[in-house]
């Protein structure tokens, strides 16, 4: 038996098809815009600072600071080996003004000069800066039940910067770039910067790796991790 839809059904079908066509068109336009946004950024080599004393103690640093450990200095030296062939071409180099990032840059970039930019400072974690992660979660049971990753923990800090302002600051920095650039900064800043370039949402950004002693190469919306063998 052949089914012949009546006029009301045909009208409904037409609305569904039109709606789906609009959704496909809108999504296509969105993807094209994303491609255009990604294409406007030059090649970036991103270096997270080496391990610090507060990293080792699992304390939230935010925009406070602590010195590099011996492991942190070794991390920066590994980055220096990775960056050596890149620095031959004298790319623009920019670092966070916080001490741990500047110390890392001095080691990893050697004699190559670098500027500092406050837009590259780590997310401000408000009242939780300097406190141990375990202590914060013990005092905030509801947050602990969500088992937050680093990005979500810092973003939840009372009197802190929050995710939206943090991301806006990072995009403002990216929009200043016009040539291949070396960036030496921080772990959470790196997750958001790298994730934004790669087209990830907030959850995807928070799930990215956050290694020290390596170099993240970002080009054409993709990421490649450069690292030395640990044999």
Q: How many CA atoms lie within 13 A of 23 on its CB side?
A: 6
Query: pLDDT tens, 8-45?
Result: 443 444 443 344 444 444 444 444 444 446 668 999 99
Domain 40-226, architecture per CATH: 3-Layer(aba) Sandwich (3.40)
Spatial distance between the Cα atoms of 119 and 171, rounded to a whole number of angstroms: 9
Give domain limits for the chain.
Answer: 1-39, 40-226
Spatial distance between the Cα atoms of 99 and 78, rounded to a whole number of angstroms: 19
> Active-site residues: which are they?
49, 122
pLDDT tens track of the chain, all 231 residues? 444 444 444 344 444 334 444 444 444 444 444 444 666 899 999 999 999 999 999 999 999 999 999 999 999 999 999 999 999 999 999 999 999 999 999 999 999 999 999 999 999 999 999 999 999 999 999 999 999 999 999 999 999 999 999 999 999 999 999 999 999 999 999 999 999 999 999 999 999 999 999 999 999 999 999 999 865
Spatial distance between the Cα atoms of 50 and 75, rounded to a whole number of angstroms: 5
Whole-prediction pTM: 0.84
């Amino acid at each position: 038996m052949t089914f012949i839809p009546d006029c009301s059904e045909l009208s409904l079908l037409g609305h569904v098809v039109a709606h789906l066509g609009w959704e496909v068109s809108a999504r296509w336009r969105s993807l094209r815009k994303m491609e255009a946004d990604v294409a406007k950024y030059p090649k970036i080599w991103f270096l997270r600072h080496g391990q610090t004393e507060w990293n080792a103690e699992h304390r939230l640093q935010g925009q406070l600071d602590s010195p590099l450990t011996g492991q942190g200095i070794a991390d920066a030296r590994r980055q220096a080996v990775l960056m050596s062939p890149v620095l031959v071409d004298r790319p623009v180099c920019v670092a966070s003004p916080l001490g741990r990032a500047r110390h890392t840059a001095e080691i990893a970039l050697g004699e190559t000069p670098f500027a500092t930019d406050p837009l590259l400072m780590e997310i401000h974690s408000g009242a939780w800066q300097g406190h141990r992660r375990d202590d914060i979660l013990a005092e905030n049971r509801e947050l602990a039940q969500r088992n937050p990753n680093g990005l979500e923990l810092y973003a939840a800090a009372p009197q802190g910067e929050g995710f939206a302002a943090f991301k806006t600051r990072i995009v403002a920095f990216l929009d200043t770039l016009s040539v291949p650039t070396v960036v030496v900064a921080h772990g959470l800043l790196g997750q958001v910067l790298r994730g934004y370039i790669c087209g990830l949402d907030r959850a995807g950004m928070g799930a990215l790796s956050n290694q020290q002693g390596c170099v993240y190469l970002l080009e054409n919306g993709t990421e490649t991790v450069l690292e030395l063998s640990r044999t």
